[in-house]
């Protein structure tokens, strides 16, 4: 007997008629009749005797009942287990994020999300781009918030936000307006690593102008660049979100040449996102917009009209 045969057999035993079994299985009556007929043909004996009072289990079928009942109970247990697994997955979101997003974007987003969905467990990993991609491919993360660059073919990138990098300089710097790449290099520009997604943009812009910073340091983490500027190590170029984190300690200035960057969410192409993951994405998008507006306000605060520079 096939599983479909057993399912129909059990439904008829429980309900007493083919029409009632069809309603219980949410299929048509002819469908139940066809499955039953096929089962009896395969077995070589009748499972039921048809009468005016309904369907009666034959003697041969009675001998099958204990094993059929046991198998049916196991099928129900499998159904219950798969439902529990599905619910457990729906109640968990595994989020990855580039280090720059941790404090200014992800932290307040998780607080807001927890207020909306208190029963959902969120697991957070902050890592560099290549590690986050690998974690998603290995199904260790559901999705990640990263700076835009080319992703592996098995991943899908969803653009969220575009802006331009900004300069961070000491608070006591006399500069009060947009700064040039030449000025930054003359004032010990601390460099991002060339393979970094934002570093690629900055290195390309410097090459196009034939510029080479005096400082030989090459730094991978944007917050470390800001920390070194704070320690008197020079000037830096970072993303808006890192700059906003240091707004009370450093001066944030626009660069007179656009240094564009993009923020995107990446996830597996072959895996649909849960309702909870989509809800968290929505919160993250709002926090990105809010912080971008906040950073814009802070830059306007630090930038004086050009005539007074």
Question: What's the pLDDT at 209?
Answer: 93
Q: How far apart, in Å, do the first and last CA atoms of the chain sit?
A: 88
Contact 194, 218 (CB under 8 A): yes
- How far apart are alpha carbons 247 and 229 in whole angstroms? 12
Question: What's the pLDDT at 304?
Answer: 39
Q: Which residues lie closer than 8 Å to 187 by C-beta, 6 or more apart?
A: 169, 234, 235
Contact 261, 197 (CB under 8 A): yes
Average pLDDT by stretches of 10, the chain with 309 residues? 87 89 91 91 90 84 88 82 65 88 87 89 90 92 91 91 92 90 94 88 94 80 92 92 90 92 92 88 88 71 40
- How far apart are alpha carbons 100 and 118 in whole angstroms? 26
Which pairing describes strands 166-170 and 143-147: parallel, antiparallel, or unpaired?
unpaired
How many CA atoms lie less than 13 Å away from 297 in the CB half-sphere? Answer: 6
Question: What's the pLDDT at 90?
Answer: 57
Residue showing tokens 């990105």:
288
Whose CA is closest to 12, among 76, 72, 79, 70? 72
Coil vs helix vs strand at 125: strand
- All domains in the chain, ordered by first residue: 3-89 (1.10.10.10), 92-161+263-287 (3.40.190.10), 163-261+295-308 (3.40.190.10)
Sign (positive/negative) of CA torsion 24, 27, 32, 38? negative
Question: What's the pLDDT at 307?
Answer: 28
Whose CA is closest to 233, among 169, 173, 177, 171? 169
């Amino acid at each position: 007997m096939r599983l479909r045969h057993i399912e129909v057999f059990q439904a008829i035993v429980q309900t007493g008629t083919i029409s009632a079994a069809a309603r219980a299985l949410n299929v048509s009556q002819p469908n139940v009749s066809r499955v039953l007929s096929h089962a009896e043909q395969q077995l070589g004996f009748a499972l039921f005797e048809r009468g005016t009072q309904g369907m009666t289990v034959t003697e041969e079928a009675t001998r099958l009942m204990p094993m059929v009942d046991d198998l049916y109970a196991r099928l129900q247990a499998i159904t219950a287990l798969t439902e529990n697994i599905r619910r457990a997955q729906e109640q968990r979101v595994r989020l990855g994020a580039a280090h720059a997003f941790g404090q200014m974007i992800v932290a307040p987003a998780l607080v807001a999300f927890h207020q909306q969905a208190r029963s959902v467990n969120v697991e957070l990993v902050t890592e560099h781009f290549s590690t986050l991609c690998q974690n998603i491919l290995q199904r260790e993360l559901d999705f990640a918030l990263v700076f835009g660059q080319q992703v592996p073919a098995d991943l899908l990138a969803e653009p969220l936000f575009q802006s331009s990098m900004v300069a961070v300089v000491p608070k006591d710097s006399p500069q009060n307006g947009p700064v040039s790449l030449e000025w930054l290099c003359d004032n010990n520009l601390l460099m991002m690593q060339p393979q970094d997604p934002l570093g690629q943009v900055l290195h390309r812009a410097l090459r196009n102008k034939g510029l080479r910073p005096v400082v030989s340091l090459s730094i991978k983490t944007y917050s470390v660049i800001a920390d070194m500027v704070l320690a008197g190590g020079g000037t830096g170029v970072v993303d808006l979100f890192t700059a906003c984190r240091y707004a009370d300690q450093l001066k944030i200035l626009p660069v007179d040449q656009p240094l564009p960057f993009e923020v995107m969410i990446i996830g597996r192409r072959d895996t649909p996102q849960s309702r909870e993951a989509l809800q968290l994405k929505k919160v993250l998008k709002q926090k990105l917009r809010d912080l971008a507006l906040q950073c814009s306000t802070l830059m306007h605060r630090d930038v004086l009209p050009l005539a007074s520079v």
